[in-house]
């Protein structure tokens, strides 16, 4: 389904989006790339959070590549059994809107549209190619729990580690 010039919503009958009667309080926009190894490591973690937070959060994956490969996206969806809607943003409108720089990078928006968190899923990677032996900070989960519980003691900005999002002019 084409949403706007250069924006395509990727859906699959096998991976249907289920609407619940609970009104969501937050939305998570996750910039991901099927070809980025760090993004592929983080995808199951994002999907786990989707299951944990259920209908409290609306989840969207954004793939912002100039020439997206539909076979690669389809394989990515199948590999991870992705049920989150994927916006293919070849025009980079979403990248510019959020000033996203990295795959993966996540943004949490409140119901009023305020970006309450921006950054990494967790601190699994120190740098590209250098992984920790264990996760110390589950940054996105901590932010979502704090927001859900009305607490303000969380880091609202963290530095994502991954593949650079290349903007075209």
The Cα-based distances of 23 to 54, 87, 111, 114 in angstroms read 11, 22, 10, 17
What average pLDDT does range 70-97 have in this prediction?
A: 92
Instruction: Report how far residue 142's alpha carbon sits from residue 139's, in angstroms, rounded to the nearest whole number.
Output: 5
Residue 168 has pLDDT above 80, yes or no: no
What are the strands, taking DSSP E only, across 5-142?
7-10, 26-31, 57-63, 86-89, 102-103, 105-110, 115-119, 125-127, 130-131
pLDDT (tens digit, 9 = 90+) per residue, 141-163?
999 999 999 998 899 999 999 99
Assess if residue 18 is contained within a domain: no
Assess if residue 16 is contained within a domain: no
β-pair type (86-89, 57-63): parallel
Assess if residue 98 is contained within a domain: yes
Assess if residue 94 is contained within a domain: yes
Assess if residue 15 is contained within a domain: no
| pLDDT at residue 23, as a whole number | 59
Assess if residue 169 is contained within a domain: no
- Torsion over CA: 38, 140, 108, 60 (sign): positive
Contacts for 143 with CB less than 8 Å, ≥ 6 apart: 108, 116, 117, 154, 155, 156
Q: What is the pTM of this model?
A: 0.86
Work out the percent of the chain whose per-residue pLDDT is above 70: 86
pLDDT (tens digit, 9 = 90+) per residue, 6-31?
444 544 444 444 444 445 789 999 99
Assess if residue 19 is contained within a domain: no
| CATH number of the domain that residue 149 is part of | 3.40.30.10
Domain count of the fold of the chain: 1
Assess if residue 92 is contained within a domain: yes
The more confident residue out of 52 and 3 is 52
β-pair type (57-63, 26-31): parallel
Full residue range of the structural domain in which residue 128 is found: 2-10+24-164
| pLDDT at residue 13, as a whole number | 44
Residue with tokens 């549209």, as numbered in its chain: 113
Contacts for 79 with CB less than 8 Å, ≥ 6 apart: none
């Amino acid at each position: 389904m084409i949403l706007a010039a250069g924006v395509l919503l990727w859906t699959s009958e096998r991976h249907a989006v289920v609407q619940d009667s609970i009104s969501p309080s937050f939305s998570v926009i996750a910039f991901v790339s099927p070809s980025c190894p760090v993004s592929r490591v983080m995808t199951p973690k994002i999907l786990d959070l989707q299951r944990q937070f259920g209908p409290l959060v609306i989840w969207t994956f954004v793939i912002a590549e100039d020439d997206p490969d539909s076979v690669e996206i389809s394989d990515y969806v199948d590999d991870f059994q992705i049920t989150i809607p994927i916006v293919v943003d070849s025009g980079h409108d979403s990248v510019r809107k959020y000033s996203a720089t990295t795959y993966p990078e996540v943004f949490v928006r409140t119901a009023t549209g305020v970006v309450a968190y921006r950054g990494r899923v967790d601190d699994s990677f120190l740098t590209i190619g250098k992984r920790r032996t264990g996760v110390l900070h589950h940054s996105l989960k901590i932010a979502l729990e704090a927001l859900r519980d009305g607490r303000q003691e969380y880091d609202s900005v963290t530095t994502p580690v991954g593949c650079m999002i290349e903007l075209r002019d």
